């Protein structure tokens, strides 16, 4: 059933009003919000973590220790500090204290090492680095010059049995230093020059290829997301939001924390996501809402049925990447009242959100004149936008696939359509598309392919570069993966294109993770693809792996798999090829490859 356009727009208007109440020039920033909530309800819980409980008053007091220590170290508004720590209370306390001074915090992925880690630290241009004791091994990959290059503060974990284990030469023990600091609010004059449009975080893009870019995220953006998303989710002060995503990531570190701070609500924080412990912990902490991303819902659905699957208080789940193939089953099995599937990115100046529970959709634009987003035709063969006789871009008709873009209006004191960009001017410029519908206009390029239906609901198709062409047809890796999702015993399907010598385009290949890898039935899988996919979209090659290669934010990596291809010299996993003669996927051999018919 289609929801009335006016009804959808009313909900979107509520979101917009809450988000856009904040302006770049306002003096009210995140530090003010923390102090405001601590004053209003000091004893209300802010954070549940393992057996620890942190109230709003305690959050503020601990953040003040960090602020005073930073002042003592000579830090001030406009400076940058890098933060590398796993999910634990000290992560939020550290950046909250720095935010009170207007110090920007570069959030470093706890999984990076070596060249990638050095790139991130150098990109941030920070002279100071706060690192959790648990991440010291990552730093060791940089060699012996760590403490000479950055002023290094090591934050100990109260739950770590290693306690005061050795730190790198020249490093400072942050935990000891903070114990000596006062807990009173620093003088508000220390952030007198700070405005909401200034940078709060650098959040590194978690792409599946290449070195990450540092996206700039302002105090205004943080406050607006918290207020806006709380408004449409119906969050209140009694909410307990489950935080299972990394805090260095936009969804976990911005959406979850900003919503809690907006309402004076609580967060149930977990070090790392665990499908086996998810529902037990949700019951333990009285969780009412959860932020999801990527494959989390699929992991939960793959777990065996339990009698207490609906015995929990979670009423709303908000996030992105819930495949249409499992949406209804997930919602029904676990009894989730509301799923708020959206589309955006950390750096995007536009977004979509599905407020109508339209299965598979990532959002709706009921009236295009009230939204800055547009969907324009994109040719994946030429890697360019289709333009008309006047050299302007062409909007997609219903059913057509194109790139989603967001108009940059250039309003000096509004968050509407504001593109905050990256620390790199060059990277920022590469994201801007000009002369789209008229000379001189500017639009943010998302790099994502979407389509819309007749009711103006939008559906994510793929990332540009992930969609490939085979047999003169465009093949979406995302849509193929969703089609394969219902195969019995399948946990993850990672789909990509590979080159086949002597053939045009790329052939489809899928790396499958099965509950029982030994039980792959090539004939059953062939029949399954025949029923659900057009011939050109069915994977030509299959690789059966024991585990999925994922980023820490549950995005599937493809580049190494594409490089490996179907070369048995590079791949140790079982390889299969589609054989129409026997209507099955059969073990790959030189003979089968030479007689490839696709």
Task: Using alpha carbons, select from 448, 560, 543, 450 the residue that is nearest to residue 492.
Answer: 543
Residue 144 vs residue 413, higher pLDDT: 413
Q: Where are the domains positioned within the chain?
A: 30-43+55-194, 469-594
pLDDT given at position 548: 86
pLDDT given at position 208: 44
Query: Was domain 469-594 assigned CATH 1.10.760.10?
Result: no
**From 61-70, 209-218, 274-283, 476-485, the region with the lowest mean pLDDT:** 209-218
> What pLDDT digit, counting tens, does each position of 19-31 carry?
999 999 999 999 9
pLDDT given at position 385: 96
pLDDT given at position 486: 86
Confidence of residue 46 (pLDDT cuts 50, 70, 90): very high
Whether 30-43+55-194 and 469-594 share one fold: the answer is no
Question: How many Cβ atoms are within 10 Å of 145's Cβ, its own excluded?
Answer: 9
What SS3 string covers 236-278?
CCCCEEEECCCCCCHHHHHHHHHHHHHHCCEEEECCCCCCCCH
The token pair at 556 is: 């599937």
pLDDT given at position 368: 96
Confidence of residue 66 (pLDDT cuts 50, 70, 90): very high
| Average pLDDT over every residue of 470-490 | 87
pLDDT given at position 549: 83
Backbone angles phi, psi at 257, to 5 degrees: -70, -40
Confidence of residue 210 (pLDDT cuts 50, 70, 90): low
Rounded Cα gap, residues 436 and 163, in angstroms: 57
Overall residue count recorded for the chain in this entry? 598
pLDDT given at position 206: 58
Fold of 30-43+55-194: Rossmann fold (3.40.50)
In percent, how much of the chain has pLDDT > 70? Answer: 96
In percent, how much of the chain has pLDDT > 90? Answer: 73
Count the helices and strands in the chain (H runs, E runs). Answer: 18, 29
> What pLDDT digit, counting tens, does each position of 123-133 carry?
999 999 999 99
**From 155-164, 400-409, 425-434, 511-520, the region with the lowest mean pLDDT:** 155-164
pLDDT of 209 above 50: no
Burial of 549 (0-12, 13-18, 19+ CB in 10 A): middle
3-state secondary structure of 552: coil
Are 560 and 551 in contact, with CB atoms under 8 Å apart? no
pLDDT given at position 336: 97
pLDDT of 434 above 90: yes
Average pLDDT, the chain: 92
E strands present in 328-454: 338-343, 352-353, 363-364, 373-379, 384-385, 401-407, 432-434, 442-452
> What pLDDT digit, counting tens, does each position of 86-107 carry?
999 999 999 999 999 999 999 9
pLDDT given at position 247: 96
Residue 79 vs residue 115, higher pLDDT: 79
The token pair at 125 is: 């241009």
pLDDT of 168 above 80: no
pLDDT of 241 above 70: yes
Q: What is the CA radius of gyration of the chain?
A: 25
Torsion (CA) 244, 249, 252, 255 in degrees, nearest 10: -170
> What pLDDT digit, counting tens, does each position of 356-402 carry?
999 999 999 999 999 999 999 999 878 899 999 999 999 999 999 99
Task: Using alpha carbons, select from 440, 429, 447 the residue that is nearest to residue 383.
Answer: 447
Q: pTM for this one?
A: 0.86
Confidence of residue 504 (pLDDT cuts 50, 70, 90): confident
pLDDT of 590 above 90: no
Confidence of residue 230 (pLDDT cuts 50, 70, 90): very high
| Average pLDDT over every residue of 154-163 | 78
> What pLDDT digit, counting tens, does each position of 266-275 carry?
999 999 999 9
């Amino acid at each position: 059933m289609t929801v009335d356009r006016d009804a959808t727009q009313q909900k979107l208007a509520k979101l917009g009003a809450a988000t856009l109440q904040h302006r770049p020039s306002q003096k009210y920033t995140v530090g003010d919000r923390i102090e405001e909530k601590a004053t209003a309800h000091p004893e209300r819980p802010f954070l549940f973590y393992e057996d620890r409980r942190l109230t709003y008053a305690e959050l503020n007091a601990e953040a003040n220790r960090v602020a005073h220590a930073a002042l003592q170290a000579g830090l001030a508004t406009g400076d940058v500090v890098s933060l590398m720590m796993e999910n634990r209370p000290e992560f939020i306390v550290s950046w909250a204290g720095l935010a009170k001074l207007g110090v920007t915090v570069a959030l470093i992925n706890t999984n990076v090492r070596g060249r990638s880690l050095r790139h991130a630290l150098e990109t941030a241009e920070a002279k100071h680095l706060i690192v959790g004791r648990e991440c010291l091994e990552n730093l060791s990959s940089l060699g012996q010059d760590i403490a000479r290059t950055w002023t290094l503060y090591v934050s100990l974990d109260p739950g770590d049995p290693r306690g005061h284990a050795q730190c790198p030469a020249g490093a400072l023990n942050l935990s000891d230093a903070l114990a000596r600091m006062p807990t009173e609010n620093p003088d508000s004059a220390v952030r007198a020059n700070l405005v909401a449009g200034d940078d709060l975080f650098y959040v590194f893009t978690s792409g599946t290829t290449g070195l990450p870019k540092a996206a700039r995220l302002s105090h205004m953006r943080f406050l607006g997301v918290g207020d806006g998303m709380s408004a449409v989710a119906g969050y209140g002060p009694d909410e307990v939001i489950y935080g299972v995503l990394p805090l260095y990531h936009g969804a976990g570190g911005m959406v979850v924390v900003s919503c809690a701070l907006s309402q004076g609500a609580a967060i149930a924080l977990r070090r790392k996501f665990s499908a086996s412990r998810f529902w037990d912990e949700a019951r333990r902490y009285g969780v009412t809402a959860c932020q999801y991303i990527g494959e989390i819902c699929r992991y939960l659905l793959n777990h065996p049925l339990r009698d207490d699957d609906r015995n929990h208080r979670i009423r709303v789940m908000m996030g992105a990447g819930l495949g249409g193939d499992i949406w209804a089953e997930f919602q029904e099995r676990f009894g989730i009242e509301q799923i708020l599937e959206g589309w955006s990115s950390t750096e995007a100046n536009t977004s979509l959100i599905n407020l109508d529970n339209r299965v598979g959709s990532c959002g709706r634009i009921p009236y295009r004149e009230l939204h800055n987003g547009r969907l324009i035709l994109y040719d994946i063969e030429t890697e360019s936008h289709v333009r008309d006789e006047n050299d302007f871009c062409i909007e997609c008709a219903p059913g057509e696939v194109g790139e989603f873009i967001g108009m940059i209006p250039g309003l000096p004191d509004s968050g509407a359509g504001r593109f905050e960009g990256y620390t790199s001017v060059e990277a920022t410029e590469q994201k801007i598309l000009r002369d789209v519908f008229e000379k001189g206009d500017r639009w943010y390029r998302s790099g994502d392919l979407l389509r819309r239906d007749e009711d103006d609901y939008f559906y994510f198709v793929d990332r540009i570069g992930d969609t490939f062409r085979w047999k003169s047809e465009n093949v979406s890796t995302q849509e193929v993966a969703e089609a394969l999702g219902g195969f019995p015993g399948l946990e993850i399907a990672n789909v990509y294109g590979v080159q086949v010598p002597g053939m045009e385009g790329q052939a489809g290949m899928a790396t499958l993770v099965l509950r029982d890898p030994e039980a792959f039935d090539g004939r059953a899988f062939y029949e399954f693809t025949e029923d659900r996919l057009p011939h050109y979209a069915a994977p030509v090659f299959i690789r059966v792996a024991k585990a999925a290669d994922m980023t820490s934010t549950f995005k599937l990596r493809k580049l190494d798999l594409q490089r490996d291809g179907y070369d048995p010299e590079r791949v140790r996993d079982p390889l299969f090829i589609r054989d129409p003669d026997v209507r099955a996927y059969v073990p790959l051999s030189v003979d089968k490859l030479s007689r490839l018919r696709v």
